[in-house]
Amino acid sequence: MPSNKQYIFNSKTLSYEVKKRSKTSRFLRSIALLVLSFLMTGLYCWIYTSVLGLDSPKTALLKKKNAEWSSKIEVLNRQLDEYSTALASLQMRDDEIYRSLFGMNEIPSAVRNAGFGGVNRYAHLDEVDPDGLLKKTAVKLDVLTKKSYVQSKSFDEVAQLSRRAGEMASCIPAIPPVNPDPKIYRLSSSFGYRKDPFSGRQKRHTGVDFALKPGNPLYATGDGVVESVKFELFGYGNQVVIDHGFGYKTRYAHMKTIGVAEGMKVKRGECIGLSGNSGRSSGPHLHYEVLYKGAYVNPANYYDLSITPEEYATMVQDIADASERITLHPSHQKKRKK
């Protein structure tokens, strides 16, 4: 315990004399020492941080942890960039291959990027993230999550449609509408701009013309349902429009006679009527059109004229035989009697 006594040497008497210290002096001495220690500590910290430019142990520890987390976030950012690049590749394939293959429209960029603009939903990170690294990562993660969801829904649609691929293959208008025997027909006009035979001016021709004598059989180029049967005196004359589904329709114009009615289901290779010269026509021919999603497309991109007349005739006969078997089946006969 501290002593309350203080010994002072008296040079006259050559002896030590006892001098008692008061409580006030002891208290002031303690306060002075405490203040001095704080001052020394402050001076040490100032020299350590300001003069020598060193960090305090706690600051150094926090900076170390911050650097570790920053490194982890940077790695996460690079991974998100790689995932975003991979997703962009999937989106391009989806639009240009998968959806195009099944006749589906591309997903608009406005849909793929929906909900990424407008209100700053990351404002709460501005105060705690002065460098913006955490905010940038949060934005990337959010965008990638939403785009992935849109892409997954698109793949669900493609998968659902792919299950009907066999049906689609038989519906696409993939054969010529006439027997491709060079002795029977000639291509008198192709798809695109040409000189109009009546006005003499350049005009877009929306189909392909097969010049052939009246009375030649015309065939459905794909499975479908007869959408319309009508006559136009100053237009296509006797014409048939077949809806094949999946965005495809075909038109057969200037016919002599029509062998189908609206609402009938037809098979590829089934005879739908005879060629003629009805309507506004410069000579006997079949005007054949292919429409995809309401737009005229070149029919030559869908049929193959290299098929032999014998192969074509065999296909037509097989369709006719199958149709006759269905018609003559006992169950169908009972239905017809009813």
Domains and CATH numbers, the chain: 70-163 (no CATH), 178-337 (2.70.70.10)
CA distance 312 to 179: 6
Give backbone dihedrals phi and psi of 164, rounded to 5 degrees, phi first: -105, 20
CA distance 147 to 107: 11
Share of the chain above pLDDT 70, in %: 83
CA distance 10 to 216: 149
The strand pairing partners of 11, in sequence order, are none
Neighbours of 188 (CB within 10 A): 17
175 secondary structure, DSSP code: S
Average pLDDT over residues 192-208: 86
Name the range with the highest mean pLDDT among 58-72, 152-166, 299-313, 321-335: 299-313
For 166, 171, 316, the CA distances from 303, given in Å and listed in that order, are: 18, 13, 15
Task: Identify the residue with better confidence: 151 or 27.
Answer: 151
Give pLDDT, residue 263. Answer: 96
User: Do 141 and 80 meet the contact criterion of CB atoms below 8 Å apart?
Assistant: yes
Give pLDDT, residue 198. Answer: 77
CA distance 213 to 239: 17
Task: Identify the residue with better confidence: 258 or 318.
Answer: 258
* Model confidence at 14: pLDDT above 80: no
Name the range with the highest mean pLDDT among 95-99, 265-269, 324-328: 265-269
Transcribe 208-270 into DSSP letters: EEEEE-TT-EEE-SSSEEEEEEEEETTTTEEEEEEEEETTEEEEEEEEEEE---TT-EE-TT-
Task: Identify the residue with better confidence: 27 or 333.
Answer: 27
Residues 6+ apart with CB under 8 A from 192: 204, 205, 298
Give the chain's mean pLDDT: 83
Share of the chain above pLDDT 90, in %: 34
Give pLDDT, residue 248. Answer: 93
User: Do 274 and 256 meet the contact criterion of CB atoms below 8 Å apart?
Assistant: yes
Reported as a pLDDT band with limits 50, 70 and 90, residue 338 is very low
Give pLDDT, residue 116. Answer: 60
Q: What is the pLDDT of residues 75-86, one digit of tens each?
A: 888 899 899 888
Average pLDDT over residues 265-292: 94
